């Protein structure tokens, strides 16, 4: 059996770009700051028994981010 080493990456988090809530950027007044603080939440999907690998109905949690300022879900891809 092959012993796999974990992938090591050197990332300078200080140079990474902040993600700003696009809804806040569009709708807040000029003197109000846009939010770059997000709360992790879960959207739950119900999988019917016929589509489930177990053959039983299942609930699947999907992690999402919610803007702390406006409450909108962050819908943004990493490459944007």
Is the separation of the CB atoms in 50 and 60 below 8 Å? Answer: no
The reported pLDDT for the residue numbered 67 is: 93
Write down the H helix ranges in the chain: 22-27
Would you say residue 80 has pLDDT above 60? no
Q: For residue 47, give the 3-state DSSP assignment.
A: strand
The reported pLDDT for the residue numbered 10 is: 84
The reported pLDDT for the residue numbered 45 is: 96
pLDDT, tens digit (0-9, with 9 covering 90-100), for 18-55? 888 988 888 777 777 678 999 999 999 999 999 998 99
pLDDT, tens digit (0-9, with 9 covering 90-100), for 1-17? 566 777 777 888 889 88
The reported pLDDT for the residue numbered 73 is: 94
């Amino acid at each position: 059996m092959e012993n796999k080493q974990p992938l090591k990456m050197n990332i300078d988090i200080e140079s990474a770009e902040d993600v700003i809530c696009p809804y806040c950027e569009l709708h807040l007044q000029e003197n109000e700051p846009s939010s770059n603080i997000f709360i992790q939440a879960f959207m739950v999907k119900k999988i019917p028994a016929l589509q489930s690998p177990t053959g039983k109905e299942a609930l699947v949690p999907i992690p999402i981010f919610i803007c702390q300022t406006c409450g909108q879900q962050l819908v943004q891809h990493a490459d944007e």
